[in-house]
Amino acid sequence: MAGGRMSALSLPIDTTASVQFKPFRARTPLFTVKAGRVLVTLTLPERLNAGDVEFARALAEQAAAYAVEVERLYRSGRRPSSSGRSAGKGVAA
């Protein structure tokens, strides 16, 4: 995003959080993240382009990397810092 304002949303995730993918035959799919009393749904325009495909692939790649890191932290028994930032590459949403 060049030169514009950006909103930020931080969702504390716990055991009640959920994600859901909903495919449809006649329209673009929905991807939803629910945490607490917040529901975020990713939507797409009805006419897709290559950038939409790139975004979906990047979302899947970053989600997979997130899962690997969460599992690594869980298995190590370490408690992650909530204020630190990861040194890995990522795309802030």
CA angle at 20 for the pair 44 and 84, rounded to the nearest 5°: 90
Return the biggest CA–CA distance within the chain. Answer: 46
In this prediction, residue 78 carries a pLDDT of: 80
Please tell me whether residues 39 and 56 are part of one structural domain.
no
Domain that includes residue 53, residue range:
48-78
72 with 58, same domain?
yes
Mean pLDDT, the chain cut into blocks of 10 residues (93 residues total): 82 94 94 96 94 97 97 87 52 46
Query: Residue 83 has what pLDDT?
Result: 53
Same domain, 35 and 52: no
Q: What secondary structure, in 3-state letters, does 13-58 show?
A: CCCCCEEEEECCCCCCCEEEEEECCEEEEECCCCCCCHHHHHHHHH
- Of the candidates 5, 82, 4, 9, the one whose C-alpha atom is nearest the C-alpha of residue 41 is 9
36 and 22 belong to one structural domain? yes
As for how many domains the chain has, the answer is: 2
Q: According to the model, what pLDDT value does residue 3 have? A: 72
* CA–CA gap between residue 38 and residue 89 (Å, rounded): 26
Within a domain: residue 54? yes
Give this prediction's pTM.
0.73
Confidence (pLDDT) at 80: 66
Give pLDDT, residue 79. Answer: 74
